[in-house]
Amino acid sequence: ETDPAGPAAALRGRAERPDYERLLRDLRPPALVIAGDHDAYSTKEVTDQLVAALPDPEVLILEGVGHFPNLEAPEPFDAAVRTFARRANGLRAELRP
């Protein structure tokens, strides 16, 4: 029942944004990509493109979940973010002089 003007504007904006792939390849911080396998906007192809552009991302694809994995599957989403944050914080501590 969503007003189609909203998604249409979002898709137009996505089509007009600059290509950030080169910038993503140069990033070195830890990266976590969480996506739903039923996302009509950020499809598997979009997720695959993002994952391919990052040097070493952790990836979690949530089954049966759409565009809002944090709302649609809060328990696995939150657990993944907490685990990732702990690992990233430990890595940051290891890299400190």
Residues 60/76, Cβ–Cβ less than 8 Å:
yes
> pLDDT digit string (tens) for 35-90?
999 999 889 999 999 998 888 899 999 999 999 999 999 999 999 999 999 988 88
Q: What are phi and psi of 59, to 5 degrees?
A: -130, 135
The CA-CA-CA angle for residues 35, 39, 70, to 5°, reads 50
Amino acid letter for position 78: D
pTM above 0.75, yes or no: no
Residue ranges of domains in the chain: 5-95
Three-state secondary-structure class, residue 60: strand
CATH for 5-95, among 3.40.50.1820, 2.60.40.10, 3.10.20.30, 3.40.50.10800?
Answer: 3.40.50.1820
Which H/E stretch holds residue 3? Answer: none
> pLDDT digit string (tens) for 12-48?
888 888 887 777 777 778 899 999 999 998 899 999 9
For 12-48, the DSSP string reads: HHHHHSPP-HHHHHH--S--EEEEETT-SSS-HHHHH
